[in-house]
Copies of this chain bind each other. A is one copy, B any other.
Amino acid sequence: MRWDSLDREACSLSRTLAVIGDRWTLLVLRDAFLRVRRFEDFQASLGIARRVLTERLMLLVDEGVLRKVAYQERPVRYEYRLTEKGLGLYPALVALVHWGDEHYAGKKGPPLLHRHLTCGHDFRSVMTCSECGDAIDPREVKPHAGPGAKKRA
């Protein structure tokens, strides 16, 4: 199967990965969450090939994850900012970071901590159920076909 047909699959993960699933995009978004906004800054921070960065930023803008905002005229220069849709990726990103913290942090501990300003503490994210509010154990979840499902094997 070719990658560019993934967005036609009846699976929300496939559709999501068609947008943010390549090797660099999540790192671009990590930087965006850390307030990186300009082409040169992304490039310097990531060491990504410029052509690839151009492509990824364009795709993210097309998809409405980032938007271009002019920060000067003459010459017009744009920076890239997260949209609301982009902010919606935060839980996924944090979950990936915390998995890395747990399994790949050295003896010294994680390189980056996250402080919850509302309560003032460094936190880990906990996945809870929107219905009962309890923390979710993967073994207590049963996936089943939803309204948008096609029949599948």
Contacts and interface: CB of A to CB of B under 8 A. Distances in A.
Interface string A92-118: 111111111111111011111111111
Number of copies of this protein chain within its complex? 2
Nearest to A5: B47
Interface string A22-39: 110011001001100000
| A interface: dominant SS | mixed
Contact of A109 (B109, B110, B142, B148): B148
Contacts of A127: 90-91, 94-95, 125-128
Contacts of A147: 108-110
Contacts of A56: none
A76 interface: no
A99 to B, nearest CB: 5
A41 to B, nearest CB: 9
Interface residues of A, number: 87
Contacts of A153: 44-45
Contacts of A116: 129, 131-132, 134, 136, 140-141
Contact of A115 (B3, B106, B141, B149): B141
Contacts of A105: 12, 148
Nearest to A150: B111
Contacts of A100: 11-16
A112 B149 contact: yes
Nearest to A149: B111
A146 interface: yes
